[in-house]
Structure 1
Amino acid sequence: MTGGSRGIGRQAVSRLAQDGFAVVVVYAGRAADADAAVEEVTAKGGRAIAVQADVADEQAVAALFDRTEQEFGGVDVVVNAAGIMNNPTPLVELSLDELDRILRTNVRGTFAVSQQAARRVRRGGAIINFSSSVTRLRQPGYTPYGASKGAVDTMTLILARELRGRDITVNAVAPGPTATALFLDGKPQEVIDGLAKAAPLERLGEPDDIAEVVAFLAGPARWVNGQVLYANGGIA
């Protein structure tokens, strides 16, 4: 589970452990958060370890998969939740450095993890990438983030077809506005309130809501393949 130390990823770690999975919590720089996620799982009798890795570094990603195989004997499910978002900024004002920063994690990182996953996930397994409902909402200010998630969608759908005959499902989860630090940071309260009212269910998503979708794709959803699942309360 990349991006497993905070927010949606952290909740998905807990949910998958509850379903009996041994979990590798992959983090970039927040060791204390990753250790806390591991402690939460192990305190309930589950198995988990924390591993630091830059998801855009192919050697680090390969080493991550090596460690997973050594620790747990193989890889059955890969959840690629690592991602970063820009502060809302019109395209005309964005720097190319900011674009490169977001594409490196969200696109190159998804590619590097998906490549290793395609090589190593065992039959009957699942690869779950993270997209975003921004690709449908097309909110001004999110050009680099939305573009990166559009690339994730395309990678996911093509990889599902490239793994024909392997009995491995490949899907993406596309959350809408969800109450995590990634979403809430830097937004005025009136913007948050407006987005909460936009969905017919009239609230923001919670990490639990998205974790349930991840658990579905990781376990019982064997006939769901090559799809982008929009988990957004009906906002789009």
Structure 2
Amino acid sequence: MTKHEDRRGTALVTGGSRGIGAAAAVALATDGWDVGVSYRTRSDEADQVVATCEKLGRRAYAVQADVAEPDQIERLFDAVTAELGTIGAVVNNAGIVTPSGRVADYDLARLERVFRINTIGAFLVAGAAVRRMSTASGGSGGVIINVSSRGAVLGSANEYVDYASSKAAVDTMTIGLANEVAKEGIRVLGIRPGLIETDIHEEGRLERIGGTPPLGRPGKADEVAELIVFLASERSSYMTGSMVDVAGGR
């Protein structure tokens, strides 16, 4: 992808310090967006993402924020807006997995943590975006891209049924919210990455099952990021409420 000289606007990527979030931030900067990134604990990695975006000629800004905390989400949006300008695209990416295991072994603490960040956090971020973007409340419109998982369809049996379920809820939110705000200048889209080479996986997992997709390999974060850039742009202007898989056929 070549650098786009004209500024497209400001994009916010939650969970932007590593993996798909970091790749998305850099790809958006390459395409002409100024980029805000949120991180929870990895400040050094977030700073590296910001530096990379700045080398591409864009402005970038990192904010520490926990997406499970409503006050911190509000602070995140306000800080990025103050530093970079009105947010026109939100990549709702922050999420976690816990150690693999069977449903019978899950405890309440595990389930509360997974759903609080992956599902409730995603809802809170989407809500904050709508309040600022909606033309019904004086906003200029925009795009919300929810990062789900192919596991939401496949179920992730014997590993991450809780994670898969938390992402399935995000898929439903994507469709419902898209219909709510379609006449308010906001498009809402979802992507479902499959096995992607990031550090979210437990040690050895990619080596064990990375060859199982029909394409015969795991994907790369940059391959997911290219789709995010497309969905954030006017090139996808007639898309909303859609889920797009990036999973090598799996």
C-alpha distance in 2 between matches for 1:81 and 1:211? 11
State the Cα RMSD in Å.
Answer: 1.2
Residues 47-97 of structure 1 deviation map (CA, whole Å, 9 limit, x = unaligned):
101001010111111111111221222110000110001221000011110
Q: 1:156 aligned to 2:168?
A: no
- Report deviation, 1:139: 2.2
- Report deviation, 1:44: 2.3
Provide the residue aligned with 2:220 in structure 1: 206
- Report deviation, 1:164: 2.6
C-alpha distance in 2 between matches for 1:229 and 1:119? 25
Provide the residue aligned with 1:215 in structure 2: 229
Contact map agreement 2:27 2:226 (CA 8 A) in 1: yes
5 Å-filtered alignment, 1:26-41, equals 26-41=38-53
Q: 1:230 aligned to 2:245?
A: yes
Residues 94-149 of structure 1 deviation map (CA, whole Å, 9 limit, x = unaligned):
11101111111101110110000111124452100111000222221212101100
1:129 aligned residue (139, 146, 160): 146
Provide the residue aligned with 1:139 in structure 2: 156
- Report deviation, 1:35: 0.5
5 Å-filtered alignment, 1:39-54, equals 39-54=51-66
- Report deviation, 1:194: 4.6
C-alpha distance in 1 between matches for 2:56 and 2:123? 33
What is the percentage of aligned positions where both structures have the same residue? 39
Label 1:124 to 1:115 Cα distance change in 2 as closer, same or farther (>3 A): closer
Give the TM-score of the pair, scaled to structure 2.
0.89
Q: 1:117 aligned to 2:135?
A: no
1:179 aligned residue (187, 194, 197): 197
C-alpha distance in 1 between matches for 2:141 and 2:72? 25
Higher relative contact order (CA 8 A, sep 6+): 1
Contact map agreement 2:94 2:118 (CA 8 A) in 1: yes
Provide the residue aligned with 1:12 in structure 2: 24
- Report deviation, 1:166: 1.6
Contact map agreement 2:119 2:167 (CA 8 A) in 1: yes
SS at match of 1:76: strand
C-alpha distance in 2 between matches for 1:49 and 1:196? 34
C-alpha distance in 1 between matches for 2:206 and 2:88? 37
Provide the residue aligned with 2:120 in structure 1: 108
